[in-house]
Amino acid sequence: MFNKKLRSYSFRLCLSIVGTIIIAFGIVLFRLANMGIDPATAADVGISDTFHWNLGNYQLAFNALLFLGILFFDQTQFGVGTLINMSLPGYIIAYFTPKFEPIVGRWFGSFSYLENIFLFVIGMFLFSLGIGIYTSVNLGVSPYDAVAPLFNKKKWASYRLTRSVQDLFFFVVAIIFGGPLGIGTFLIATLTGYIVQYWRQLFKKIKHHIQKTHSF
């Protein structure tokens, strides 16, 4: 029984890491597409570029402060997946974006609008897939994603209002610091939830099928 639980936990942990890495590569493609990225990451990129900080170091420091603030009020939303999501994406994005830029440039030559859309669509596929994987294993959410549930749980404000204000705040911060915003930012904000829901439902069906198969 213990070994079975350990294998299950190890598998979920691996999926959490894989999902987080896929999210990061989705954002890399968003940046290369030059159509905008999500407001939170856009703000992080804008601030880190303005002050010449490493994106990974800044994201880790900011997430750590946000993590400690939320932890004071609610410990139930966090787990090892939180630490993975706090630490990995920024370093992956900072390292691979300049590495991929010349490679993609050789493939496409000069970036046309259609090629930017192609990169954005692939980025959206990876970004939503990664979120679907990372959230399906139930090993904790990122500090940013924990803010709205906390406010809703404490009855300070509704989830929708909190999330809207939160995204709007970081959108404004991204504008102030020159973060990479664009039409893609709007598309990410409006479409990601629906696509992630599709992935989560698909993963549930796969899990149910596997459990049903192994029950015979």
Q: DSSP characters for 124-152?
A: HHHHHHHHHHHHHTTS---HHHHHHHHHH
Q: Which pLDDT score, from 0 to 100, does residue 66 have? A: 92
Query: pTM here?
Result: 0.82
Q: What is the pLDDT of residues 13-65, one digit of tens each?
A: 999 999 999 999 999 999 998 898 888 889 999 999 999 999 889 999 999 99
Residue 140 and residue 208 in contact, taking contact as beta carbons nearer than 8 Å: no
Residue 133 and residue 20 in contact, taking contact as beta carbons nearer than 8 Å: no
* Rounded Cα distance, 106 and 140, in Å: 39
Confidence of residue 209 (pLDDT cuts 50, 70, 90): low
SS (H, E, C) 50-86: HCCCCHHHHHHHHHHHHHHHHHCCCCCCCCHHHHHHH
* Rounded Cα distance, 103 and 55, in Å: 21
Rg of the chain's alpha carbons, rounded to an integer?
Answer: 18
**For the chain, how far is it from start to end, CA to CA, in angstroms?**
19
Q: Which pLDDT score, from 0 to 100, does residue 95 have? A: 92
* Rounded Cα distance, 159 and 6, in Å: 34
List of residues 6+ apart from 6 with CB closer than 8 A: none
Domain boundary assignment for the chain: 2-214
Q: What is the pLDDT of residues 129-181, one digit of tens each?
A: 998 888 888 888 888 888 888 888 888 988 778 888 888 899 899 999 999 99
Residue carrying the six token digits 């940013």: 144
Confidence of residue 2 (pLDDT cuts 50, 70, 90): low
CB atoms within 10 A of CB 68: 10
CA angle in degrees (0–180, nearest 5) for 62-64-67 = 110
Mean pLDDT of the chain: 86
> Is pLDDT at 71 greater than 70 in this prediction?
yes
> Is pLDDT at 216 greater than 50 in this prediction?
no
Closest CA to 163 of 180, 177, 151, 181: 151
